[in-house]
């Protein structure tokens, strides 16, 4: 947990030293000097999509959660209550009108993803703790079967699916946006339709499920999980 606090504090100190919008063109969501050494380092460590500071805070929290004994009910209850308090605290703070706290504090409280300031980090962490503890509790009542076991294997290959959804997703998206129908749709709306996004995400999840089912018949860990284990050993 101390690691999570460290990454968050460093990020907020950087906010004071370096304007967050440095390098960004927010009108087009492009990073203008990404391919320069200074721009690349700034983007990777500070103000890029999921930069090291503060996003490593989530990783450190995940490492801490992974050490807990989730089979114990009081652990599930404790994590759920902590998540509930964190999430509700931020949601209540968001209800404070701008006139009461000023534009600077109001903007800080309502910042969403860019930049990922403290209220955003607390709110998303709290909500994730709620979900994790709730599903761990529900798991107590689920009878193991083929579908559940394969679903669990899919979850155990999260790293593989995370990396593949980026790489394969970019390739698939590039193909789709180059079709005549997609080009016309993007010109009209500026983005993919919610229906198309739902279809693509559902198709990827189904593919991930069956890939995990087939892969784990021969291997205990996913491809990237296997590489990570070998590298760490």
153 contacts: CB under 8 Å, gap ≥ 6: 212, 213, 216
What residues does each domain of the chain span?
2-141, 146-232
pTM for the structure as a whole: 0.79
Could you give the angle at the alpha carbon of 28 between the alpha carbons of 23 and 34, nearest 5°? 30
From first to last of its 233 residues, what are the pLDDT tens digits of the chain? 789 999 999 999 999 999 999 999 988 888 999 899 999 999 999 999 889 999 999 999 999 998 999 999 999 999 999 999 999 999 999 999 998 889 989 999 998 888 999 999 999 999 999 999 999 999 888 888 888 889 989 988 989 998 888 888 777 766 665 555 554 544 545 566 788 788 888 988 999 999 999 999 999 899 999 998 888 77
Please give the structure tokens belonging to residue 5. Answer: 């606090």
CA–CA distance, 68 with 62 (Å, rounded to integer): 10
Number of neighbouring beta carbons within 10 Å of residue 206: 10
Residue whose token pair is 């089912």: 213
Residue whose token pair is 């999570």: 4
């Amino acid at each position: 947990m101390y690691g999570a606090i460290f990454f968050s504090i460093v990020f907020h100190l950087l906010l004071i030293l370096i304007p967050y919008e440095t390098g960004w063109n927010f009108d087009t969501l492009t990073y203008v000097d990404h391919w320069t050494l200074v721009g690349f380092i700034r983007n990777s460590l500070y103000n890029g999509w999921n930069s090291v500071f503060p996003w490593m805070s989530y990783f450190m929290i995940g490492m801490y959660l992974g050490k807990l004994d989730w089979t114990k009910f009081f652990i599930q209850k404790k994590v759920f209550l902590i998540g509930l308090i964190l999430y509700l605290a931020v949601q209540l703070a968001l209800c404070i009108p701008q006139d009461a706290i000023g534009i600077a504090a109001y903007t800080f409280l309502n910042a969403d993803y860019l930049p990922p300031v403290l209220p955003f980090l607390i709110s998303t962490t709290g909500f994730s703790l709620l979900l994790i503890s709730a599903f761990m509790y529900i798991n107590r009542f689920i009878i193991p079967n083929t579908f559940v076991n394969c679903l669990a294997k899919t979850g155990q290959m999260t790293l593989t699916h995370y990396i593949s959804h980026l790489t394969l997703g970019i390739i698939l998206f590039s193909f789709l946006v180059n079709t005549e129908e997609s080009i016309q749709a993007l010109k009209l709306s500026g983005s993919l339709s919610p229906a198309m996004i739902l279809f693509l995400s559902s198709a990827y999840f189904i593919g991930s499920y069956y890939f995990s089912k087939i892969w784990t018949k021969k291997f205990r860990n996913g491809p990237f999980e296997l590489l990570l284990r070998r590298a760490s050993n």
